[in-house]
Amino acid sequence: MDSLGDKILNGDRRALARAITLVESGRADHRAQASELLAHLAKAGRQSLRVGLSGTPGVGKSTFIESFGMMLIEQGLRVAVLAVDPSSTRSGGSILGDKTRMERLSREKNAFIRPSPSQSHLGGVARRTREAIALCEAAGFDVVLIETVGVGQSETVVSEMSDLFLLLLAPAGGDELQGVKRGIMEMADMILVNKADGDLKATATRTCADYAGALRLLRKRPQDPEGFPKAMTVSAVEKHGLDQAWDEMTTLSGWRRENGHWDGNRAAQARFWFDQEVRYALLSRLDTPTARAEMDRLGAAVGAGNLSPTAAADRMLSILATH
Amino acid sequence: MDSLGDKILNGDRRALARAITLVESGRADHRAQASELLAHLAKAGRQSLRVGLSGTPGVGKSTFIESFGMMLIEQGLRVAVLAVDPSSTRSGGSILGDKTRMERLSREKNAFIRPSPSQSHLGGVARRTREAIALCEAAGFDVVLIETVGVGQSETVVSEMSDLFLLLLAPAGGDELQGVKRGIMEMADMILVNKADGDLKATATRTCADYAGALRLLRKRPQDPEGFPKAMTVSAVEKHGLDQAWDEMTTLSGWRRENGHWDGNRAAQARFWFDQEVRYALLSRLDTPTARAEMDRLGAAVGAGNLSPTAAADRMLSILATH
């Protein structure tokens, strides 16, 4: 175990990949090993910049990550990319299923790309992703990008594990502005309007101005310096605006570190993670072959009308209490 | 206990109100009594028509329930109204807080109106509401209206406990059509466009036609006869269209009864309820003063960085295991 931990602390990507597979496992002995490994690695106290990134299909998210990630690597930084996609089982594969999506980045030795664990339950994906982030931090990555397609609650989940949250949008007509829900806007530290190139450049500039206006209507947040949250245009294809976006991100995170918001946010996130872990573990008692069989048996009796839902629940709890 | 149960079976509204207060209680002895009472009442095997009704503030929901409920009562039916409003604690009172919202209906001896239990957690409100429905059924109500303002997931929760799901909408310009999410449209068995009176009559008719068109684009559901889901105009103020709406509802529910969908749906809902009850009970172990104090203590250590979230969760689970 220590040997795997030490390899990770040395930045070994294959060891990191193995450790992520370990935290993704549902087996009890794997869970125990993972818990021990995480406790060991936590002692190193390493921190990455955790950047959440949400964008619906078609906004050019893969191209953005590829270009943005390459720029960071050219600056000498190490970059990990993790995906959160609760729908990956249903669609028959992860949104990051093949690394050809980010062909150049995936070949870089200072990059690490990991697809979303294939679980249908967002809570399970969230748990594994939080642990994968901790592993990437221990492996010395400077930036961990956590991407999501933004289905359902996944933006909330990603923002709850990020230091900064970016929203990547495509140029659009003015009336499509309302397509971004207010709750999502309020999560964003920066809105990046992609595809500010070629025929779409003027539209992107207008869209950016619209979002900048919308952001100004939101209440200023105590954790932000003047001018944030902010909207910018970028072109992932032409590699325009990526360095400016990175400058703004470092400005914002630096400001938050100095003002204590960074530590406060990390502490709140850790407490939340603890709370979720406890809940998840309590519910995991239903996730054994015996428990599933009993749930099926009692559920059938309920469905047939032979047992009330409440009475069946009481019986199930008695069964769990005696195991 | 039997005496309370017998009174409910005799249709005693005060006994019904007392029983609902009992199922809303979090006390362990009350839960045990509630469970026994529900098991006793279930033997009577009475069924109401459970009608879910969602509508945002301003569509005239209270007026609709008042007029629709009065019409049912004039036909000799008994009507119960329950509210599902997860936000009722925050807003400092239930959406049904005062019965003056439905002044006439609340005075009818064949009507029963109950506000939403004041709990912030939707899961808790859902549990109590399901049990309140079972109590109303035992008390012999023909129709149980379950209303919600449609915040967040509450429409889904209400549709999961209803036989029919109605969406009440206001007349609106064509481009507001998209304001109703596709997921909500897909839940609806009938869309009722209210306020089809006075100046708004023509707009209501156009809005209704727009929604009828939108409904036709949805996939036909196997549990529906030809022509459903359907959109209609009503005027709660002028009491227009209410009897036609009721006719359609009885047609639809009759068809579903004959074709087995009614029983299948009820069985699936009961199994779902059973599943939710078990999960809720497992998590309720965190809902004791001792557990809350331990969660606070460990959470503080996690927030201070002295303990990893995973390690803290392991400790919390050990503590729960020894209690």
Structure tokens at B302: 């996690």
For strands B143-148 and B49-54, give the pairing.
parallel
Task: Give pLDDT, residue B27.
Answer: 84
Task: Give pLDDT, residue A235.
Answer: 97
Residue in B47, B64, B67, B46 with CA at minimum distance from that of residue B55: B64
Give tens-digit pLDDT for A40-58: 898 888 999 999 999 888 8
What is the amino acid identity at position A240?
A: H
Task: Give pLDDT, residue A152.
Answer: 65
Q: Where are the domains of chain B?
A: 1-43, 46-259, 288-322
| Helix or strand run (H / E) with residue B134 | helix B122-138
User: Mean pLDDT over all residues of chain A?
Assistant: 88
Task: Give pLDDT, residue B96.
Answer: 46
Give tens-digit pLDDT for B19-64: 999 998 878 899 889 988 998 898 888 999 999 999 888 889 999 9
For strands A49-54 and A164-169, give the pairing.
parallel
Tell me which of 3.40.50.720, 2.40.110.10, 3.40.1350.10, 1.20.5.170 is the CATH number of domain B1-43.
Answer: 1.20.5.170
Which residues make Cβ contacts (< 8 Å) with residue A302, sequence separation at least 6? A308, A309, A312, B267, B270, B271, B273, B274
A267:B317 CB<8 A: no
On whether the CB atoms of residues B159 and B187 are closer than 8 A, the answer is: yes
Instruction: Check whether A99 has a pLDDT greater than 60.
Output: no
Distance from CA of B271 to the nearest CA of A (A): 5
d(CA A142, CA A73): 10
**What is the pTM for the complete model shown?**
0.72
Fold equal for A1-43 and A46-259: no
Q: What is the mean pLDDT of residues A75-94?
A: 72
Structure tokens at B282: 């497992």
Task: Give pLDDT, residue B19.
Answer: 96
Q: What is the mean pLDDT of residues A177-199?
A: 85
Residue in B111, B97, B214 with CA at minimum distance from that of residue B167: B214
Distance from CA of B311 to the nearest CA of A (A): 7
Q: Residue A127 — very low, low, confident or very high, per pLDDT cuts 50/70/90?
A: confident
Return the minimum-mean-pLDDT range out of A35-49, A119-133, A288-302, B70-84.
A119-133
On whether the CB atoms of residues A76 and A142 are closer than 8 A, the answer is: no
A313:B278 CB<8 A: yes
Residues of chain B where predicted confidence (pLDDT) is lower than 70: 1-2, 86-100, 118-121, 151-152, 173-179
Task: Give pLDDT, residue A311.
Answer: 87
Q: How much of chain A exceeds pLDDT 70, in percent?
A: 90
A302:B38 CB<8 A: no
| Residue B30 CB-density burial (10 A; 0-12 exposed, 13-18 middle, 19+ buried) | middle
Structure tokens at B58: 């301003």
Residue in B194, B193, B230 with CA at minimum distance from that of residue B214: B230
Place of tokens 């727009």: B210
CA B96, distance to chain mean position in Å, is 13
ipTM, two decimals, is: 0.80
Residue in B102, B47, B94, B97 with CA at minimum distance from that of residue B73: B102
CA A12, distance to chain mean position in Å, is 22
CB pairs under 8 A between A and B: 117
Question: What spatial distance separates the first Cα and last Cα of chain A, rounded to whole Å?
Answer: 30
Rg (CA), chain B: 22
Q: Which positions in chain A touch B298 (Cβ < 8 Å)?
A: 274
Q: What is the mean pLDDT of residues A87-93?
A: 44
Q: What is the mean pLDDT of residues A76-81?
A: 97
Instruction: Check whether A101 has a pLDDT greater than 50.
Output: yes
Q: What is the mean pLDDT of residues A118-143?
A: 87
Task: Give pLDDT, residue A204.
Answer: 94
Task: Give pLDDT, residue A249.
Answer: 97
Residue in chain B nearest A178 by alpha carbon: B179
On whether the CB atoms of residues B40 and B2 are closer than 8 A, the answer is: yes
Largest CA distance in chain B: 68
B-interface mutation test, from A271, A292, A298, most B Cβ less than 10 A away: A271
On whether the CB atoms of residues B187 and B207 are closer than 8 A, the answer is: no
Q: How far is CA A94 from CA A87, A126, A174, in A?
A: 8, 15, 32
Residue in chain B nearest A274 by alpha carbon: B309
Per-residue b or e along B72-90, where b marks 16 or more CB atoms closer than 10 Å to that residue's CB = bbeeebbbbbbbbbbbbbe
Structure tokens at B45: 């095997």
CATH classification (class only), A46-259? alpha beta
